[in-house]
Amino acid sequence: MTALTRADLPTAARIVVKVGSSSISGEAAWRIPLLVEALAEAHARGTEIVLVSSGAIATGIPFLQLDARPTDLATQQAAAAVGQNVLIYRYQEALHPHGIVAGQVLLTTGDLEHPTSRSNARRAMERLLGLRVLPIVNENDTVATQEIRFGDNDRLGALVAQLTGADALVLLSDVESLYTRPPSDPTAEPLDIVAAGADLSGLEFGATVVNSVGTGGAATKVSAARLAAASGIGVLVTSADLVAEALSGAEIGTWFEPAV
């Protein structure tokens, strides 16, 4: 069996794309139509696309007239309830010119750990994809508690890729690729390909909290990428601004080779 490569992405049957809060919320909301256009191009080629999108809490913050991301769970849940509605509306508005319907799927980690709910989630996702609907997945922040949260949607993206049997996972970030050290370090070098099972213990991926609207960062992307790659799913980590190039098979970003 030949392992999927970055160049194979245009012909992959099913791809999960994950985008973070900082890429599509607040002043970055302008990026949603560009992201959707790239997804629609892949969809038109026949690829089944699942979008894992953060951003509910960050999108809801201004509607609650808050100055910053809330720290208490109840207000986070309230912001998510408002923001998820607005976020899906924005995606559907962007999808409308392409003739694509969005389907909202909200999950908690318990949903994917319990066999019955996991089976239900898989069946629903398969039916949505069969109907050529674009599933948009997010953590169910309105009901999740601190103890059962995914923690970051990079891991959720990997779990959804496993759930749906995706060929590839594309983790969109604020930078073009992962580096051997934090990008601000002058000795940092971009990582092109990470072989399956490679030892990354000597590399430095930085902190997990990277901005005021979301959680994540290089460390969580590496962890999620290794999780998916170990399941035979190829993973590309690159910038949200390069999503069209990524889905077209361009030699960009950091590619995690899938285990075979």
Domain ranges of the chain: 6-256
Identify the band that residue 150 occupies on the pLDDT scale cut at 50, 70 and 90: low
Question: Smallest Cα–Cα separation from 140: which of 170, 162, 167, 117?
Answer: 117
- In the prediction, which pLDDT does 185 show? 84
CA 42 to CA 65: how far, in whole Å?
Answer: 37
CA 84 to CA 141: how far, in whole Å?
Answer: 9
Identify the band that residue 188 occupies on the pLDDT scale cut at 50, 70 and 90: confident
Considering the chain, what percentage of its residues have pLDDT values greater than 70? 92
Ligand-binding annotation for 154, yes or no, is: no
User: For residue range 47-97, what is the model confidence (pLDDT) as tens digits?
Assistant: 999 999 999 999 999 999 998 888 888 998 999 999 999 999 999 999 999
Ligand-binding annotation for 173, yes or no, is: yes
Identify the band that residue 174 occupies on the pLDDT scale cut at 50, 70 and 90: confident
Cβ-based neighbours of 49, under 8 Å, separated by 6 or more: 14, 15, 16, 17, 39, 42, 43, 134
Amino acid making up residue 69: R
Ligand-binding annotation for 25, yes or no, is: no
Ligand-binding annotation for 54, yes or no, is: yes
Identify the band that residue 28 occupies on the pLDDT scale cut at 50, 70 and 90: very high
Axis crossing angle, helix 153-164 with helix 218-230, rounded to the nearest 10? 10
> With respect to CATH, is domain 6-256 assigned 3.30.420.40?
no
Q: Which residue has the higher pLDDT, 216 or 112?
A: 112
Ligand-binding annotation for 153, yes or no, is: yes
Ligand-binding annotation for 174, yes or no, is: yes
